[in-house]
């Protein structure tokens, strides 16, 4: 039975770690927030006082951190975790970070003979809790083969996106498109309703037609159209607008590296920033619907 | 067995009329282009020398014309068809036109006791030929009930969008969203590929994730990803970029009426116009992919 | 001394008419709002009960109305003013309307031997009061020659933009550019201040550099930078955001006619509509600055 | 008489250094391109084999490099120039780089008691040759006082934008606004001409009206409107589109730091990237006009 270290027990990391426990893995966990560590310790994990301590004897290390600087801080440098673990270990870096940053960490791991995969997820806190996350994985196919049972305990779809950093690139491409579709859906919904259509009828027509998309299937931004969507619960829960703004920022960094032109993605970022300025960053990202509704 | 007049035998109208013939309806047809009339006459329709002549004795009139001005020209005014047919007839106006224009024609029909439905379609020439069009219908539910067998001979999904003009509004909402998704998909595809991803792999990841949409399901704009998509056949066939520009123009007219803000839809129109300026208006609308690929 | 009929005594028309009186012209005036008529009657104008009555004996007719439909309603049709005045009269149509609409009125005037100029203005209510408006004039040079003294009593710059409708086209081009510059200035101001710059210093640097524009010269949107700008008076007075939205709508109609791509102008319209949805339509158009400031 | 080291003799640096020579300063120069060094040596400068050698005995160091990484490479690190020159020296860093990068270099200079100013320029190669550049300066006012004679030999307007990095921030704000105005002007010009206006007449009307801006004053993008503008010389010379794309990229990095929403600036970047994809990056940035003209 594998021994796993899990570092980063936030909104996503905690339920992901819990699913590893449920699947029978032995877990040692670390987070800067002690209460999160304590909670998992109460469920059978071993509490560690540092990432290094958690990683001792662990065959696999899983990390889930907020941003590029945390990941680089954890792994790189003379004191970094990659300098403290033996060759041959497997690292599953699941944070959503800049592809350039992921490539740096990959490079450092390679130099030390450590197998590392960048494996950002989609599916939100609900998917993390249910163990139905999607993993988009960059790195060697052989390492992915080894990691399969670990991913399988936390997610449903595991995609091999390509070489080092490819997981992050697939993630920002996907989330950029998601944001564009969310806003595009929201503005077409608002325009249709303003011209007299019933929101449920319009949503259903577009869902079954060439306008169909994941937002219309699962996550309609108009309150009342889907009972379980965040829009119908005051835009609570779900995927926070400020996290979408973060991902769209990563997309623009990625576009900068390749000099790609992404007019829709760039506009989506600006509109989410307008929304954040209105104090709505902590609400679900479908709250962008409110930009297009009449407040008068 | 119903007698139907069919007016407007263009790329869409001709195969639609043919499907009515196949379904056993008696058809009298008219178009300004004599060869189209002759072709259907050869398949069993009665050739008429004018819209008025075609409509004599027809219980149902179906029209499929290029733009608002043609529809208003056909139906309205002292010489218009609505002044020449008796009350009680059923008119299925299938052209894609401005909602305001559709409402005018509805109003004139109501005043004369004629049942009229605005019923624009989606599905393109392929759907017209296969009889799998989607109809988005505005007008009275009772009239739609009567029209059902006629629609069923030409299409698969028949939606009642709402009152007079609602079909047109649903159509422009849907097509605006489709354009946004096409461009959003194209720019994420280009960004991913420019950063080293395989286009087929990226397309599949997004299709199965929260970026999923109709474009990724059926109509990927990157050449070679889908064997049967226009992108893999030199962007031939399909739905012409200039027709998408027309629909996006109708969307902006609709937004103007309701003072709706549709930043993504407005940007989509401008990008399609850039494409038209490059001489690509007659290619399939997925040719927008080329805007985002490196030509150097 | 010329006899002039002035039709339309709103925020712009009233001070324009007053300047004609001051310049010594004999004025007969009409508006649907009786109080406006009374006010000018008290200052020496002759009050008329209709546009037709006002136009009797007038060598020149000046009109200043809200939108295309009012102008078409006044001049066109069997009861229209153009059918009621003799050939040889001079009509100065100063409203801001769709170029297509202006061309229709021109055409009708030509058929009746009436000289008509489309002559929209810029300069706002302040320019109307001070008699410093800019007139952008479309139509025959000879008619403009005759109209010169009348324009000169109301404005400072009189441009001959070109043939029928050219005044309207020049106006929408100018105002589209103005809106783009206002928003561009507002977002660069907000970005600079958010990064620690003093708004007055930044405004002055850009004003004197390649970012210089009319907004930075006269109308800075950041409160406190210019003592007399609307921004420093709670965004009161000036040129209402909803009127800018109207002009940007006309610009999009114009772009539609010529299939022009205007991504910046289209985006400007959408952003102004977002602003209107926040209930700020009656404030000066520089209030767009608030979209970009932090409200948290 | 001051001894100055000049590092970076590219399109901008070379003429700037030449103006220092003309003003009577003693100059030692370095560039990786030997021919540039030789050229200035032939005009009286002392050729140095490295930046360190050039800086020996120099009271003032001026640098003009392509991008952030070159500037950080020159000044920072154990081998960096800031570690090799004595306290009390004055460094004028004139490159256009990321504000964050400028702040790092400032910080390193402060720690070593070296006076450093970030002082990016505007005015292009023409301004560099004529000695009429604008300097936007960030850092201490006292250091700026000392630097005044050096700046005065190369430029006309010297602005103190604020503390460390403020010069860069002012520069990106200005250039973002310039790009927005260039595109806004280009699209209004194209729309007006497509609707029948004479380009010279339209340009003049907008220049004198509320659409007036630096582009219309000095740099009209429509060929033939201004004899000396790059547009009238095949879009040669001037300020290359790829450099504008670089500056707009810096603007987006800056907006990212402050979470600023800059929809116009973001769209400008995307449109310049489309232009670069068409192989027009080496042409003057006013070539964006061609996006909006009909190529059919």
How confident is the model over D156-208, as pLDDT tens digits? 999 999 999 999 999 999 999 999 999 999 999 999 999 999 999 999 999 99
Would you name the residues of C annotated as active-site residues? 171
Of C277, C293, C295, the CB nearest to A295: C277
Cα–Cα distances in Å, from D205 out to B171, C169, C221, D111? 41, 11, 23, 54
pLDDT more than 90, % of chain C: 95
Catalytic residue among A103, A171, A246, A280: A171
- Confidence class for position D29, pLDDT limits 50, 70, 90: very high
Q: Do D277 and B267 touch (CB under 8 A)?
A: no
Of C274, C293, C296, the CB nearest to A279: C296
Catalytic residue among D103, D104, D171, D280: D171
End-to-end CA, chain A: 61
Token digits of residue C230: 């609307």
Q: Which of A26, A49, A25 is nearest to A37 (CA)?
A: A49
Question: For an interface test with B, which of A118, A191, A199 has the most B Cβ atoms less than 10 Å from its Cβ?
Answer: A191
Which pTM does this prediction carry?
Answer: 0.95
Q: Which of A270, A179, A289, A180 is nearest to A230 (CA)?
A: A289
Strand partners, B47: B29
Q: Do D210 and C159 touch (CB under 8 A)?
A: no
| Chain A residue whose CA is closest to B260 | A191
Q: What is the CA radius of gyration of chain D?
A: 20
Of A245, A270, A276, the CB nearest to D263: A270
Neighbours of D103 (CB within 10 A): 18
What are B95-135's pLDDT values in tens digits?
A: 999 999 999 999 999 999 999 999 999 988 889 999 999 99
Q: Count Cβ–Cβ pairs < 8 Å, chain A vs chain D.
A: 43
Q: Has B171 been annotated as catalytic?
A: yes
Distance, in Å, from the CA atom of A111 to the CA atom of B48, rounded to the nearest integer, reads 80
Question: For an interface test with A, which of B136, B139, B175, B192 has the most A Cβ atoms less than 10 Å from its Cβ?
Answer: B192
Chain A residues with CB-CB distance to D244 below 8 A = none
Inter-residue contact A286 to A238 (CB < 8 Å):
yes
Q: Do A296 and C277 touch (CB under 8 A)?
A: yes
- Confidence class for position B296, pLDDT limits 50, 70, 90: very low
Q: Which of C135, C142, C103, C143 is nearest to C119 (CA)?
A: C135
Q: Do B267 and C269 touch (CB under 8 A)?
A: no
What are B249-291's pLDDT values in tens digits?
A: 999 999 999 999 999 999 999 999 999 999 999 999 999 999 9
- Whether residue C296 has pLDDT greater than 50: no
Q: What pLDDT is stored for residue B37 in this prediction?
A: 97
Under-70 pLDDT residues of chain A: 1, 295-296
- What backbone torsions phi and psi does residue A184 show, to the nearest 5 degrees? -60, -40
- What backbone torsions phi and psi does residue A47 show, to the nearest 5 degrees? -80, 135
- Whether residue B1 has pLDDT greater than 70: no
Token digits of residue A182: 């969310």
CATH number of D3-163: 3.40.50.720
Instruction: Work out the burial of residue C252: count CB atoms within 10 Å of its CB; fewer than 13 is exposed, 13-18 middle, 19 or more buried.
Output: buried
Token digits of residue D29: 């120069």
Q: Do A198 and B162 touch (CB under 8 A)?
A: yes
CB neighbours of B135 closer than 8 A, spacing ≥ 6?
B94, B119, B120, B121, B151, B154, B155, B157, B158, B159, B167
Inter-residue contact B143 to B89 (CB < 8 Å):
no
| Chain B residue whose CA is closest to C261 | B270
What are C18-60's pLDDT values in tens digits?
A: 999 999 999 999 999 999 999 999 999 999 999 999 999 999 9
Separation in Å, CA of B292 to nearest CA in chain A: 6
Separation in Å, CA of D227 to nearest CA in chain A: 32
| Chain B residue whose CA is closest to A166 | B197
- What backbone torsions phi and psi does residue D58 show, to the nearest 5 degrees? -80, 130
Across chain D, mean pLDDT equals 96
Q: What pLDDT is stored for residue D1 in this prediction?
A: 53
Residue whose pair of structure tokens reads 């461009």 in the numeric block = B183
Question: For an interface test with B, which of C261, C276, C288 has the most B Cβ atoms less than 10 Å from its Cβ?
Answer: C261
Of A260, A270, A276, the CB nearest to D266: A270
Q: Which of D23, D22, D40, D24 is nearest to D7 (CA)?
A: D40
DSSP string computed for C198-217: -HHHHHHHHHHSTT-BHHHH
| Chain D residue whose CA is closest to A268 | D263
Distance, in Å, from the CA atom of D279 to the CA atom of A239, rounded to the nearest integer, reads 40
- Whether residue C220 has pLDDT greater than 90: yes
| Chain B residue whose CA is closest to D279 | B296
Of D161, D178, D209, the CB nearest to C211: D178
Neighbours of B296 (CB within 10 A): 8
User: Is there a common fold for B3-163 and B169-292?
Assistant: no
Cα–Cα distances in Å, from C263 out to B274, C270, D263? 9, 11, 11
Chain C residues with CB-CB distance to D251 below 8 A = 191
Can you tell me the mean pLDDT for B230-242? 93
Q: What pLDDT is stored for residue B295 in this prediction?
A: 56
Can you tell me the mean pLDDT for B14-22? 98
- Confidence class for position B294, pLDDT limits 50, 70, 90: confident
Chain D residues with CB-CB distance to C175 below 8 A = 210-211
Residues of B with CB under 8 A from a CB of D: 263, 267, 274, 277-279, 291-296
- Total residues belonging to chain B: 296
| Chain D residue whose CA is closest to B279 | D296
Indicate the domain borders of chain C: 3-163, 169-292
Separation in Å, CA of D257 to nearest CA in chain B: 23
- What backbone torsions phi and psi does residue C71 show, to the nearest 5 degrees? -65, -45
Chain C residues with CB-CB distance to D157 below 8 A = 208-209
Of B260, B262, B274, the CB nearest to C261: B274
Question: For an interface test with A, which of D244, D256, D257, D277 has the most A Cβ atoms less than 10 Å from its Cβ?
Answer: D256
Q: Do D277 and A266 touch (CB under 8 A)?
A: no
Of A260, A267, A276, the CB nearest to D266: A267
What are B196-231's pLDDT values in tens digits?
A: 999 999 999 999 999 999 999 999 999 999 999 999
- Whether residue D296 has pLDDT greater than 90: no
CATH architecture of D169-292: Orthogonal Bundle (1.10)
| Chain A residue whose CA is closest to C294 | A277
- Classify strands C26-30 and C3-7 as parallel, antiparallel or unpaired: parallel
Partners of chain B (3+ Cβ pairs below 8 A): A, C, D
Across chain B, mean pLDDT equals 96
Distance, in Å, from the CA atom of A186 to the CA atom of A179, rounded to the nearest integer, reads 10
Cα–Cα distances in Å, from D111 out to A25, C1, C46, D82, D98? 51, 80, 80, 10, 20
Question: For an interface test with A, which of C278, C282, C288 has the most A Cβ atoms less than 10 Å from its Cβ?
Answer: C278
Across chain A, mean pLDDT equals 96
Catalytic residue among B104, B171, B246, B280: B171
- What backbone torsions phi and psi does residue A205 show, to the nearest 5 degrees? -60, -50
Instruction: Work out the burial of residue C42: count CB atoms within 10 Å of its CB; fewer than 13 is exposed, 13-18 middle, 19 or more buried.
Output: exposed
- Confidence class for position D295, pLDDT limits 50, 70, 90: low
Q: Do C209 and D267 touch (CB under 8 A)?
A: no
Across chain C, mean pLDDT equals 96
CB neighbours of C208 closer than 8 A, spacing ≥ 6?
D134, D157, D159
Q: What's the ipTM?
A: 0.95
């Amino acid at each position: 039975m594998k021994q796993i270290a899990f570092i980063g027990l936030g909104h996503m990391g905690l339920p992901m770690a819990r699913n590893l426990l449920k699947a029978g893995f032995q877990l040692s966990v670390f987070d800067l927030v002690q209460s999160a560590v304590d909670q998992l310790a109460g469920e059978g994990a071993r509490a560690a006082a540092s990432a290094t301590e958690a990683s001792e004897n662990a065959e696999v290390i899983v990390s889930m951190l907020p941003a590029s600087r945390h990941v680089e801080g954890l792994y790189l440098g003379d004191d970094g975790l990659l300098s403290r673990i033996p060759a041959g270990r497997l690292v599953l870096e699941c944070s959503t970070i800049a592809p350039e940053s992921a490539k740096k960490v990959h490079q450092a791991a390679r130099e030390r003979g450590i197998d590392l995969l960048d494996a950002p997820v989609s599916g939100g806190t609900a998917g993390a809790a249910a163990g139905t996350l999607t993993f988009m994985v960059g790195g060697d196919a052989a390492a992915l083969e080894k990691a399969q049972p670990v991913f399988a305990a936390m997610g449903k779809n595991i995609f091999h996106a390509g070489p080092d950093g490819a997981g992050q690139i697939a993630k920002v491409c996907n989330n950029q498109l998601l944001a564009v579709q969310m806003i595009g859906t929201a503005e077409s919904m608002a325009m249709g309703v303003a011209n007299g259509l019933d929101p449920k009828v319009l949503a259903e027509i577009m869902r079954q037609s060439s306008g169909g998309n994941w937002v219309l299937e699962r996550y309609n931004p108009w309150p009342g159209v889907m009972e379980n969507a965040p829009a119908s619960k005051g835009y609570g829960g779900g995927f926070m607008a400020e996290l979408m703004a973060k991902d769209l920022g990563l997309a623009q960094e990625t576009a900068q590296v390749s000099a790609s032109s992404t007019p829709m993605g760039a506009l989506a970022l600006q509109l989410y920033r307008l929304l954040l300025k209105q104090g709505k960053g902590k609400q679900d990202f479908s709250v962008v619907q409110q930009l297009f509704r009449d407040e008068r």
